[in-house]
Amino acid sequence: MIYKKTTVGHLNDKDIIAYNISYDNGFEVEILNLGGIITKIITPDKDNNLENIVVGYKNINGYIENPSYMGAIIGRTSGRIYNGKISIDNKEYRLSKNYGINQGHGGNVGFNKKIYDVNYIKNEDEFKLILSCKSKDLEENYPGNLDVEVTFEISRNFKIKQIYKATSDKKTLVNMTNHSYFNLSGNLKNPVTNQYMQINSDFILELDATSVPTGNYIDVNNTPFDFRKLKSIGRDIDKSHNQINIGCGYDHPFILNKGKIHLEDKISKRAMDIKTNQECVVVYSMNFTDDLVLYNNKTNQRRFGICFETQAPPIGQNMCFLEKSILEKDSEYTQITEYKFYIIE
């Protein structure tokens, strides 16, 4: 294993540092202390070509701006919160509204914008990168001083386990995730619409016109959202369906049964499995892009990445699902998501 740390920029008088971990089998991961952003996951294809399988920007300025949340830790909460309003023990909190009438991904300055403190534990076949930060009481108007720790366990056998932990001195909300965009073609050669996905999910959450849950469930049977069997992402992504129209593609919470989320590319033969202890995964098919340049001087294009935001259901109309993000005072929030990368026959 080779471990490197490199100063790649500066923000608010703090260094932005890239932590790079690589193994002799070609597996390489790079993470910034800015937002815990994953900038590289390099894996071999069927011919042992080593390529990046996450979408990323050309330079550090892209990650500082990062309007698409590329690769970042999301918090305190993930997804939208209807009307930027929550109530905890009959006390109302008005959150910042950065997604139209709603709050999205923790507000104007969410966990994606923080410079984390970093520690690590290095073993021969596993490297643990431990990021920590404090979120002060009423930051983005959330109650409670929150202590946050996110551990990336990067194993030689092509695995990444993300462990999120948080404790608060007041009852609050926590619902964290990661916002990496995956593309198994390698180095952004092809859109993800040509890749195949399988999700063990019988229901999605219905969204309103502002993309927050209504509180209703939709059976995926006979809809574009049925991925219980392996299916190309592009097959039904533009079909006429009111939920597809709302998101301009997939941008929906899938309620998970037991099992894994699977993605594969039949050209490169790369595949990945995701396992999580969370109730749902918001699948986002990169239906909108920013105008920043990607690595390899690629133009940012729609549907060249796909996000798997493992989390609790987002908070919708009438504060539906709010209780699923509640963290009691002095209790511990734990979210675990594991990624496994491999080659298919």
Query: How many C-beta atoms surround the C-beta of residue 131 within 10 A?
Result: 25
Rounded to whole angstroms, the Cα distance separating 237 from 250 reads 7
Rounded to whole angstroms, the Cα distance separating 62 from 32 reads 13
Enumerate the H helices of 138-285 as residue ranges: 242-247
Rounded to whole angstroms, the Cα distance separating 304 from 61 reads 21
Structural tokens at position 149: 């720790």
Peptide bond before 302: cis, by omega within 30 degrees of 0?
no
Catalytic: 179?
yes
Q: State the catalytic residue, choosing from 51, 140, 264, 309.
A: 309
Q: What is the DSSP letter of 200?
A: -
Q: State the catalytic residue, choosing from 30, 51, 140, 179.
A: 179
Catalytic: 65?
no
- Give the side-chain half-sphere CA count within 13 A for 278: 33
Helix (H) or strand (E) holding 62: helix 60-65
> CA angle, 69 as apex, 63 and 73 as ends, to 5°?
95
Rounded to whole angstroms, the Cα distance separating 185 from 29 reads 17
What's the start-to-end Cα distance of the chain, in Å?
Answer: 27
| Position 184, amino acid | L
255: exposed, middle or buried (Cβ count in 10 Å: 0-12, 13-18, 19+): middle
Structural tokens at position 143: 């109650």
Structural tokens at position 177: 């995730």
Structural tokens at position 107: 């507000």
Nearest to 186 by CA among 42, 342, 24, 13: 42
Query: How many C-beta atoms surround the C-beta of residue 123 within 10 A?
Result: 10
- Which residues are designated catalytic? 179, 309
